[in-house]
Amino acid sequence: MGSLLIRRDAQYWGITLEDLARKSLNGTRFLGLMQEVIGPFRTKTWNMVDDWARRISWTDKKAFKTVLQFGAFEMHGARLYNEWYKGTLPYVDYTSGAYEDCLNMIARKAYDEQKHGRIYWDAVLERGWAANRRELFGHQYGQTLFGIKMFLAWLAYVGSSHPAVQHAGDSVASEFQSARSIHALGESLAGYDPIIAKAFLAQEYEEMTHVKMGEYIIGRYATTPEIQFQCLWASHHNLRALDLGLRDFIDFVEADD
């Protein structure tokens, strides 16, 4: 159940399985260690988005592309978290209550992401850029980019692993970036298009809630060196995939097509 094919002699963020076994950390202390090691990489990626959001000169087309891509991304997220729900179910012990909280949090997360998707696309309707939602589903700018697809494939893959690993591979890594990127884009768009900007800024709080969910689950359930090592593996691949996806996204918005 949930065993991942990771080489035992591998190292992620410079940490090996033996290091973790030697340290014998509880979940909370491991969370602290993980946040410390992934911090510089998180900063690098969010600086890239922050810089881009600061220097971009918005046009209607760029704003349209941005909001449509984010909408499609969140809709796919909702679908994937529903798969995560199935990945979490086998761990749930209804007699002791273990992992029930993970299940509830996944349900909330899936609902939130679906809601975010519709807020983005409804902002397009409010703005008058489309007459109905059917147009948006089929629109060429609403189709998922290749880099984002790789990231989504990663999310689908990590969904079958241990709940703490799921959240290490998404909530505390890319959701953190997501909240940060949404804030940067919302602030940047506020001066150009308040309707689109509010669609971004309205979601920052909930994205940070997802980060907190992940922190809670890792703190409670990442208690063995094997699971902790898988968490490091997941956060490493998650941030790498996200970096590629965001670069693809920025190129797409800036492209003059």
State the minimum distance, in angstroms, from the CB of residue 193 to other proteins: 14
Q: How far apart are CA 24 and CA 170, in angstroms?
A: 24
The structure tokens listed for 67 are 């909001």
Among 4, 21, 150, 201, binds other proteins (CB under 8 A): 201
Contact 178/160 with Cβ under 8 angstroms? Answer: no
Q: How far is the CB of 121 from other proteins (least distance, A)?
A: 9
* Type of residue numbered 224: T
Site for other proteins contains 79 (CB under 8 A):
no
Q: Which two tokens stand for residue 88?
A: 């979490």
Nearer to other proteins, 6 or 195 (CB): 195
How many CB atoms are closer than 10 A to CB 208? Answer: 17
In the complex with other proteins, the residue whose CB is nearer, 101 or 135, is 135
φ, ψ for residue 117, nearest 5 deg: -60, -45
Minimum separation from the CB atom of position 126 to other proteins (A) = 6
Of residues 198, 237, 240, 247, which one binds other proteins by CB under 8 A?
A: 198
Nearer to other proteins, 202 or 244 (CB): 202
Size of the site for other proteins (CB under 8 A): 15
Site string for other proteins, 100-139 (x = CB under 8 A): ---------------x--xx--xx-xx----xxx------
Please report how close the Cβ of residue 154 comes to other proteins at its closest, in angstroms: 28
Helix runs in the chain, H state only = 17-23, 27-55, 60-88, 100-127, 133-138, 146-158, 163-168, 176-190, 194-201, 204-221, 225-254
Stretch that binds other proteins, among 77-85, 148-156, 194-202, 242-250 (CB under 8 A): 194-202
| Other C-beta atoms lying within 10 Å of the C-beta of residue 5 | 4
| Coil/strand/helix, residue 159 | coil
Chain positions contacting other proteins, by CB under 8 A = 115, 118-119, 122-123, 125-126, 131-133, 198-199, 201-202, 205
